[in-house]
Structure 1
Amino acid sequence: MQTNMKQNLWGYIFIGPFIIGFLAFTIIPIIASFYFSFTSYDLFNAPRWIGLDNFKEMFTSDPRYLHSLKITFIYVFVGVPLRLIFALVVAMLLNTASRAVGLYRTLYYLPSLIGGSVAVAIMWRNIFGDDGIVNIALLSMGIDPVRWFGNPTAALWMLIFLSVWQFGSSMLIFLAGLKSIPQSYYEAASVDGASFFQKFFNITIPMLSPVILFNAIMQTIAAFMTFVPAFIISKGTGGPLDGTLLYSLYLFKQGFEFFHMGYASAMAWVMLIIIAILTSLIFLSSKYWVHYESEGGK
């Protein structure tokens, strides 16, 4: 009995720091954020209960909020499919026997490994800035420079291209999925005279559909939470003309620039609801297009 008590005590001692950290940095902030979302709170005065006014203001009195929501939806619904398609194409190219395949995997994964960092966002801004490398190259060829970040639409597309460039993590997951598909399926299809596209749509996509589901959900969540590239490239303004004012950036500005902590908390909970709805819809749709080998197909 005493031995068991000592073992339990040591177990509690070792997991104690994690539990304390989890409570202090996760559970308590979540509860506090939920409470603040129903208050008017600016860090300098005590929270004042205002009920649903923050949520009402978002959709009725704050055009910048609706604009940031629109910009974010464009960023997600354009960027995520492009990123997944590009990742799948590269994964299929790498899914071949080659001495240098390990090197290629590493090189393709590097942008994803450091892609969310401040340094890469600064690099992207310097490459496509008014005096960046791309415009210098255009001038050397006698072509007028392009203001990549001077136009709202172009600036948003540059953010999307940056997200697509960070395809490494999705590519590795796709590559692992491709490696798990038995080659005998392709060999049998070849014997039957199947073309590349017939193999792709009748073998690769169905067998890879669980991996596509996982990647789609993870990349959608990550895209909604994108902050660093928009903050660095726009220098914290979300410009030009709010063209890069993604949801997370506007949330940050409300909380830490305007000190509207109650409003920012409400925005965070709306984002959580939006992400939950989208992921639920993806899961619900999966029964029509995701195939599991253990079930013999659907």
Structure 2
Amino acid sequence: MQKIAYFVLILLWSTTPLAINWSVQGVPYSAALAARFGLAAALALLVLAIWKQKIPRSSWPASACAGFGTSLSMLCVYWASQTVSSGLVAVLFGLIPLATAGFSWWSFGLKLNRFEMLAMVIGITGLLLIFAEKLRLSGVLGVAVVLLAVLIQAAAAVKLKKLAAGQSPLAVNAGALMIATVVLSAVCVWQTDVTNLSFPAQSLAAIAYLAVFGSVLGFSLYYWLIRECKPITVSLISLITPASALWMGHSLNGEEVSGSLIWGTAFILLGLAVHLLAQRGRG
């Protein structure tokens, strides 16, 4: 079951950055976010009702952590997606395992061996290569905001490992989506004139895909894996998705893939590979 969940998440996380990019075309990013999570919350509650489950009081701390963490992270990603390519978003999110290791060290006192430290150095080198190119292109702010989303997501994953223990992934996800919907709807109302919103067909399709597959299915699987596995191990799914998302963005969305981005991606993937080997060495 874990292998199937891993495969599905790899597929979802490879396509999600491109879907996010399409969902904000012609739509305020906060409106696209609120629509996605509102629909996802309704679907998650429907799934709970079909399975005859409720959201127990004990799961709300985990839902709050996931809901607020996801809201902040997604606000950063959607804002940056107005100027940052979907492939680059996926590459930067590939740094989550390294960020997770750092937060695990800081929060739980997890000792990092020399290979894990080497992995971080290699990954940061790749990040600096990407930053160097974006600095020349005056696009460094978008990269920095996506990196902030990565740090928020990694911190939430480490915290969720403790809070989600013994909880139903469906219940945690439904509660998190409800909280995220409230937060993101408030941001949407504050930022946009909701009475004059219109959604192009491509944006609507992307929002529906993100709600059904990215939020309801994807996050439920993600929280289940967080509960069953080490958070660092779960985040290693990001080892494959940057390369596949880059290819999808280039072939389906005409996104430019520069030499610096290729080299930066190569260093990040090498860092993740070294990190994976170090994790296997831990047994």
TM-score bucket (shorter structure): under 0.3
Per the normalisation by structure 1, the TM-score is: 0.26
Higher RCO (Cα < 8 Å, 6 or more apart): 2
Bigger CA radius of gyration: 1
Task: Tell me the TM-score normalized by structure 2.
Answer: 0.27
- Say which structure is richer in helix: 2
